[in-house]
Amino acid sequence: MNSDQNIKEVLSNYPISMEQVEVIPVKTGLIHTSYKVTEAQEASYLLQKINTSVFRDVKTLMENIALVTNILKNAFRGSSYESLELLKTNNGHLFYKNECAAWRIYHFKEHLTGCDVPNNKEMVREAGKAFSVTDPEKLSVTIPNFHSMQKRYGQLQHVLKNTTAELSHIDPLFKQIEEFKQLLLPLEYAMDSEEIPLRITHNDSKFNNLLFDEAGKARCVVDLDTVMPGIIHFDVGDCLRTLTPSTPEDEPELANIKLRKGFHSAFLEGFVGNESGWLTKNEIKFLPYSAPYMALIMGIRFLTDYLQGNIYFSSDHPEHNLIRARCQVEVTKQ
């Protein structure tokens, strides 16, 4: 089955009118393959082919997402925030599986847009508010040890040990990683020893996983695959590492990477809110670790994927993950 026929077959399992339906690929995220589907009557949807080598247990993943979207829908009633909404199959299932892949569909947020880097401090404050913690609820872990520096570093060492490639060009990068890792591991140790409490965290709180309305108000957090127990520092750090540099996460020219320190405090203002009482003493104490910790984790993951032949993150060319890794290590350094 070619991919066009495949998509038509997928859509025929959903309450979508196939007359004059339009399907266009959209570039969103580095993991799944996404399409915008527009019906003649103008309703539009986000169709995603789920990356099952990253998310091996699709049923648990989708049950988590259904739970999260329901919690958010109730929590946001009467506010200006919105939740993503899944479209169920004709048989009432959360996803559709055929012999090629597993698929899911969300209603498309036509009136909202995301962007890679913020234009002003107000957007940054909005991001802080939007990624602030929602009600804790029992959720499954979709990717175990997702932000464990020890695990990510172990994977990198394993790949380094087993590669036959010439490595001298990554030596300086690897040395920096080793040095920064030692400085940042105390955050993970504090989590492991339960000095920092687990909450429900998004875990992929890149700035572009937030949609804004035309007035610049944050309205909807997207990409809910990795919502699971974690520490606030993961969400604070992932958002800060993507919104403080004025350059994208794959900036090749290290000299161009400048951190906008004012955005740092604007984000925290939004995140913490007027009342810091909801944070524990240790959560506050470890806040400065957040951004460098998450930037270094990403540096390690991108470098590992580069050395593995770019099998995890979608990339535009063979050196793309190496460029991303260098950029993230530079963000860690600053």
Select from Mg ion, ligand GN1, none the partner in contact with residue 304, using the beta carbon and a kind-dependent cut-off of 5 to 8 Å: none
Which residues in 161-180 contact ligand GN1 (CB under 6 A)?
A: none
Of 82, 126, 188, 204, which one interacts with Mg ion (CB under 5 A)?
204
Q: How far is the CB of 27 from Mg ion (least distance, A)?
A: 13
Select from ligand GN1, Mg ion, none the partner in contact with residue 305, using the beta carbon and a kind-dependent cut-off of 5 to 8 Å: none
Residue 306, helix vs strand vs coil: helix
Q: Contact, 234 vs 203, CB < 8 A?
A: yes
Q: Contact, 48 vs 25, CB < 8 A?
A: no
- Is 249 near ligand GN1 (CB under 6 A)? yes
Of 82, 126, 223, 305, which one interacts with ligand GN1 (CB under 6 A)?
223
Q: How far is the CB of 54 from ligand GN1 (least distance, A)?
A: 5
The dihedrals phi and psi of 82, each to the nearest 5 degrees, come to -125, 155
The dihedrals phi and psi of 107, each to the nearest 5 degrees, come to -70, 135
- Is 251 near ligand GN1 (CB under 6 A)? no
Rounded Cα–Cα distance for residues 138 and 199 (Å): 10
Nearest to 102 by CA among 45, 59, 38, 46: 59
Nearest to 3 by CA among 30, 28, 35: 35
Rounded Cα–Cα distance for residues 224 and 221 (Å): 8
Position closest to ligand GN1 via CB:
29
- Is 31 near ligand GN1 (CB under 6 A)? yes
Q: How many residues bind ligand GN1 (CB under 6 A)?
A: 12
Q: Which residues bind ligand GN1 (CB under 6 A)?
A: 29-31, 54, 204, 206, 209, 223, 225-226, 249, 298
Q: Which residues bind Mg ion (CB under 5 A)?
A: 29, 204, 223
